[in-house]
């Protein structure tokens, strides 16, 4: 019975997150109430409060559902990755671009995060969480670039922090502009071409 209750609770949680995605996407986060999400999910507002303390916690859980798997791929570094760190960066970035381009749920969540949320009132603390998530991504890229520099496959005069922030800004800027107008360009193709040009500029001649 306990196992069934736990499974039912997980199903309800996913139902709430799905409903939140749809309503946030339609109305924007600030204009959406928990009552509207409950109605969309076919639940009571009390059911939402059983799973989430407030709208900010619900938004954060919605984001983590799609971003944590993507972040985990970059964070995990195998011995093979240590041998070819730049390839690891390219492979994981390519996977992220593909997912954003082709997975409707991931695209919807990123559209909410970039276009339909204001970090005010009860959502102010989300800004700090978003910054923490960004910094974690930057740290993962930085770690891989440091490995590449230590192995001599990255130009010695290049500052690791600058190179990391530059790559993060490049991909983030392309993603943001594509989400504004997906018909403007092919995110996957343009993103990979831009990334390859950027990474090639970091490599030593022998590694190119």
Per-residue pLDDT of the chain (208 residues; tens, 9 = 90+): 445 588 888 899 999 999 999 999 999 998 999 999 999 999 999 999 999 999 989 999 999 999 888 877 777 888 888 899 999 999 999 999 999 999 999 999 999 999 998 887 777 788 888 888 889 999 999 999 999 999 999 999 999 999 999 999 999 999 999 999 999 999 999 999 999 999 999 998 866 5
- From first CA to last CA, the distance across the chain in angstroms is 60
- Take residue 141 and report the two structure tokens written for it: 């890229």
State residue 68's pLDDT score: 82
Q: 37 near 20, Cβ under 8 Å?
A: yes
State residue 72's pLDDT score: 76
Task: Tell which residue, 115, 118, 98, has the closest CA to residue 171.
Answer: 98
State residue 122's pLDDT score: 74
State residue 147's pLDDT score: 94
Residue 38: CB partners within 8 Å, gap ≥ 6?
A: 19, 44, 45, 47, 48
Task: Tell which residue, 60, 56, 57, 34, has the closest CA to residue 47.
Answer: 34
State residue 1's pLDDT score: 41
State residue 3's pLDDT score: 55
Say how far apart CA 26 and CA 89 lie, in whole Å: 34
Q: What is the pTM of this model?
A: 0.86
Q: 21 near 105, Cβ under 8 Å?
A: yes
CA distances from 46 to 41, 63, 127 (A): 12, 22, 26
């Amino acid at each position: 019975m306990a196992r069934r209750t736990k499974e039912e609770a997980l199903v309800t949680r996913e139902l709430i997150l799905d409903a939140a995605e749809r309503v946030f996407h339609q109305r924007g986060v600030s204009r959406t109430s928990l009552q509207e999400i409950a109605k969309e999910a076919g639940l009571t507002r009390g059911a939402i409060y059983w799973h989430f303390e407030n709208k900010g916690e619900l938004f954060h859980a919605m984001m983590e559902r799609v971003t944590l798997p993507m972040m985990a791929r970059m964070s995990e570094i195998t011995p093979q990755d240590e041998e070819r760190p730049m390839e690891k960066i390219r492979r994981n970035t390519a996977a992220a671009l593909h997912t954003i381009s082709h997975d409707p749920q991931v695209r919807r969540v990123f559209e909410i995060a970039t276009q339909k949320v204001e970090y005010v009132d009860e959502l102010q603390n989300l800004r700090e969480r978003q910054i923490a998530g960004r910094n974690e991504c930057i740290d993962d890229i930085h770690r891989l670039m440091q490995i590449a520099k230590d192995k001599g496959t990255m130009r010695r005069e290049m500052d690791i922090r600058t190179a990391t922030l530059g790559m993060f800004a490049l991909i983030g800027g392309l993603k943001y502009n594509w989400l504004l107008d997906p018909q403007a360009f092919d995110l996957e193709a343009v993103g990979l071409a831009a990334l390859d040009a950027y990474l090639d500029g970091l490599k030593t001649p022998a590694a190119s």
